[in-house]
Chains A and B, each alone.
Chain A
Amino acid sequence: MIDLALDGYMSALPEIFLALSGLVFLIAGVFRGNSGTTFLCYSAAFAFVFSLILLAGVNTGEAFSDLFIMDDFARYIKVIILLGAIASVVYAASFLKDEQIFRFEYPVLMIFAVVGMMVMVSANDLLTVYLGLELSSLSLYVLAAIHRESIKSSEAGLKYFVLGAISSGFILFGCSLIYGFAGATNFDDISVLLSGDNSLNIGVIFGMVFILSGLAFKISAVPFHMWTPDVYEGAPTSVTAFFAIVPKIAAIALIIRILFEVFPSMSEQWQQVVVFISVASMAIGAFGAIAQKNIKRLMAYSSIGNMGYALIGVAAATQNGVYSVLVYVTIYMVMTVGVFGIIMCMRKRGYAAESISDLSGLSKNSPVMAYGMAILMFSLSGIPPMAGFFGKFMIFEAAVNAEMYILAVIGVLLSVVAAYYYLRVIKIMFFDEAEDRFDCDIAFSRRAMIAISVILIVAFIFYPNIVFDGAMSASLALFPK
């Protein structure tokens, strides 16, 4: 009877490796002190790369007595998460040097956050969901407040912590309702129990809505978006970049897994909720951003809006919809990497410049950066040849195929509104009077990341199939034939 449930632990090898390397880096950091921060950041990047290699080799299947599942969907999302994490930790290395925030815990906490997100994506049980979520959120709260000398950073950490704790409470309450009515926490068991007609109980619907609200907080979808602008503005820019690039992908993957694996029989109920959240996020994202003066707040509203678009694909409740969401978040991740790289380059006389008007005349002062930013902004607003257009196009196509015409039309109209503030950034860069130049001692690693991001956005037109094939096999994993 007493056997350790280690069955299939090889499927979790990337997570196990990352967790162990986090522990090793922690010890190394304690002995070397804060002077080893840059070294540890690059070591963390190598740990992420090695974990990517391990990820390519692991077998699919359930592990740890069905608490953990590794399938093509989890593999695809984990690849995106790890790529995003590599970009963020490389940014962090040079940013921490610029800002003189030397804390060796920074890369260690990032590793633990990524472990938590990878576990979330592989969750096959409500307990695993909660622990993965808590591990990643707890690390993110600390990261937001890591610049202790800055009042804004402390404020961001505190706000994020208090509101995040409430959302965790929502999720736990939802889990308890589902456990109370279904009598199981395992995803396979719950979905089997719910597939019978008589068991479609109002209590389970309540539980599902509570879980969905908690997760909507994590992706900053609209009724739960209040924290986003303040936290994005207050946290150190490299942390903001990490927030924008990685955790939302994990959370939206978890939403997809829960809705499509646990509650497929209740799609009529959750579709209404997702449609509302999606429309509200697109609207607030589009109109809220117009008045912003700080570029980090602008990106916060942009991310609220983009999560709204991603949720259109979820609301379609079809395999095609999931496929389009996966393509969309992949492209969004690559664009965000580039934009935040450029935001980190906005420094004047050694200080970070965060106002949008600081960009004026960038096309004269540093044309390469201006054209890079222009490509990224065109892509974010969804203007045709860029990758961002294909993401939005596929989302709307999925909505139309699922006969949700009104949702698709609202999405298109609001993306026109959103295009205004992206194009305004381009107008400021190219047509406004030149201001002071930005400092030009930009770290090579940051230049490289921005270049890779811009090249990928443009190259997507020629080689889209790498993303399409991965997303297709990932979305098929959720829809057993």
Chain B
Amino acid sequence: MLYGIAFYLFAMVLVGSAIAVITAKNPVHSVLFLILAFFNAAGLMVLLGAEFIAMLLVIVYVGAVAVLFLFVVMMMDVSFADLRSGAMKYVPIGVVVGGVLLFELVIIYSGWKFSDAMELANPNDISLTNTEALGHILYTKYFFIFQMSGLVLLVAMIGAIVLTLRKRSGVKRQKIYEQVNRKASDVIEIHKVTPGTGV
């Protein structure tokens, strides 16, 4: 009973806030609704017993991604109303493509049948929480995958630096050593000015 109420509550708020993300006029509101959607999705994951994924959703998506979005939206000087103005003319073709894809996916999902070998994917040891169970295979069986992901992240970091870091000339910086060592004689010139002639 309580489970059912919680499920429908999370699910309805999730769908509602997801719709609000794409319909809200103000992009800041969109991002805030996105955060609400992530929280509710995390709630659904907890109900399914996948507490690790719930944790990831909150930490990674709410904690990092959504905050980054908010940051970008507030920093960027882009008029979202202008961006959106031409979008309506793509709606018909979007609906057609989306409809065809949805129809096709409904057809395959209606024929859904798990292979008999599906039990292979179940954890061997039921007593472990799923965070522990994932930890056991992530750092052992999938050690290679873990290292490869590390390389992918490194390349992403190098890429971000390569494409954005630039040395600007003429930027005023604090150089404490030079500032303290400045002598009045180096920077001030004293001129004798005779009246009526100027410098």
| A interface, CB within 8 angstroms of B | 1-6, 12, 19, 26, 63-65, 67-68, 103, 105, 108-109, 112, 115-116, 119, 127-128, 131-132, 134-135, 138-139, 141-142, 145-146, 148, 157, 177, 180-184, 189, 193, 199, 201-203, 206
With contact pairs A142-B159, A203-B108 given, residues A112 and B151 touching in the complex (Cβ less than 8 Å): yes
- CB pair A181–B155 under 8 Å, yes or no, is no
**Residues of B with C-beta under 8 A to A181:** 112-115
Report B1-21 residues with CB < 8 Å from chain A CB: none
- CB pair A135–B113 under 8 Å, yes or no, is no
- CB pair A132–B158 under 8 Å, yes or no, is no
Question: Counting CB contacts under 8 A, is B71 at the interface?
Answer: no
Closest A residue to B104 by beta carbon equals A206
- CB pair A65–B155 under 8 Å, yes or no, is no
A1 interface neighbour in B104, B136, B149, Cβ under 8 Å: B136
Question: Counting CB contacts under 8 A, is B80 at the interface?
Answer: no
With contact pairs A105-B162, A131-B145, A138-B159 given, residues A189 and B117 touching in the complex (Cβ less than 8 Å): yes
Shortest CB-to-CB span from B149 to chain A, Å, is 6
Would you call the interface of chain A mostly helix, strand, loop, or mixed? helix
User: Top 10 nearest A-B pairs by Cβ distance?
Assistant: A64-B144, A142-B159, A183-B118, A131-B148, A183-B115, A105-B162, A183-B117, A138-B155, A203-B108, A65-B141
- CB pair B108–A202 under 8 Å, yes or no, is yes
Contact with A along B97-113 (1 / 0, CB 8 A): 00000001001110111
**Residues of B with C-beta under 8 A to A127:** 142, 145
Question: Counting CB contacts under 8 A, is B23 at the interface?
Answer: no
Please name 25 pairs of A and B residues whose Cβ atoms are closer than 8 Å in the assembled complex, sorted by A: A5-B142, A5-B143, A12-B144, A63-B144, A64-B143, A65-B141, A67-B142, A68-B144, A105-B162, A108-B158, A116-B151, A131-B148, A134-B152, A135-B155, A138-B152, A138-B155, A138-B159, A139-B159, A142-B162, A145-B163, A146-B162, A181-B112, A183-B114, A189-B117, A202-B111
Would you call the interface of chain B mostly helix, strand, loop, or mixed? helix
- CB pair B144–A183 under 8 Å, yes or no, is no
**Residues of B with C-beta under 8 A to A112:** 151, 154-155
In addition to A4-B143, A189-B117, A206-B104, 20 A-B residue pairs with Cβ atoms within 8 Å of each other are A2-B140, A5-B144, A6-B143, A109-B158, A115-B151, A131-B149, A132-B148, A139-B159, A141-B159, A142-B162, A142-B163, A177-B108, A180-B114, A181-B114, A183-B117, A183-B120, A201-B111, A201-B113, A203-B111, A203-B112
